[in-house]
Chains A and B, each alone.
Chain A
Amino acid sequence: MKNTIKVERAKLNMTQQDLAEKIGVSRQTINSIEAERYIPSTVLALKIAAFFNTTVNDIFKLDEND
């Protein structure tokens, strides 16, 4: 599953650590999500979308393998 978290973060000039603290997870989790090594839970995906004031569908997209 692809995501645009890095782009959204860059728009706000935020580090992974900053986002992790705001969302309530570890920096490692944010890194793994951005690198598409970890698929977040529904709750976490909703928190991320709410934080960036957008929808889950705008941030997360299915790819061919899903």
Chain B
Amino acid sequence: MNIQLYKMTSKKNKTGGLPNYFKKIGCGLILLTFAVAMVIKLSGFLHLEDGSKEIARTIFLDLIILGLLLVTLSKDKVEDEMTLALKLKSMAGAFISGVVFTLFYPFSGLIFNEPLEQVSSTQLIMTILTFQIMTYYGLKRSEAK
């Protein structure tokens, strides 16, 4: 019997991406941002002017997007061709979901008799990243059955 040990990642097939621990950093960043935002909102100890509120809101949303991006870009503990294929599938699905979201979101306001509202870049990016992460882990779970 020909037994050879093949290295988990060969130099030729390096998948790239951030180290696995960035996943925890990304999740931590998202949770921390939510927590701080909720504390500020509920406690009301920080009285912000309208302009400052907008800046704070932008910063919070950008931090959440950054956290989602870190989770998306970080590698799994064990990466191989199947996980790469699942990632590509989830990215394709995320792209399509972004397009569908952009097409239909403006009309969602009509249900509540509100004016049409275009999708902002922040909403679009968050939708794409969230959909990619959910799809990827959903596919992994279905493969594990």
Looking at chain B's contact residues, is the secondary structure mostly helix, strand, loop, or mixed? loop
Q: Quick one: given A31-B144, A32-B143, A38-B143, are A26 and B1 in contact (CB under 8 Å)?
A: no
Q: A24-B7, A38-B143 are in contact. Are A29 and B80 (CB under 8 A)?
A: yes
Question: Which residues of B (113-145) have their CB < 8 Å from a CB of A?
Answer: 140, 143-144
Give every chain A residue within 8 A of B78 (Cβ-Cβ). Answer: 25-26, 28
How many of chain A's residues have a CB under 8 angstroms from any CB in B? 20
Q: Judging by beta carbons under 8 Å apart, are B83 and A26 in contact? A: yes
Q: Which residues of chain A are near B82, meaning CB under 8 Å?
A: 25-26, 28-29, 32, 38
Query: In whole angstroms, how far apart are the Cα atoms of A24 and B78 in the complex?
Result: 10
A60 interfacial by beta-carbon distance below 8 Å:
no
**Is A59 part of the binding interface, using a Cβ–Cβ cutoff of 8 Å?**
no
Bitwise interface map of B from 1 to 43 toward A, beta carbon under 8 Å scored 1, else 0? 1111111111000000000000000000000000000000000
Q: Which residues of A contact B8 (CB under 8 A)?
A: 24-25
Flag whether A61 is at the interface (Cβ < 8 A): no
Contact mask A27-59 → B, CB, 8 Å, 1/0?
011011000011011001001001111000000
The smallest beta-carbon distance between B83 and chain A, in angstroms, is 7
The distance in angstroms between the C-alpha atoms of A53 and B10, with both chains bound, is 22
Chain B residues with Cβ below 8 Å from A26 are 78, 80, 82-83
Question: Is A22 an interface position by the 8 A CB rule?
Answer: yes
Residues of B within 8 A of A (CB): 1-10, 78, 80-83, 85, 140, 143-144
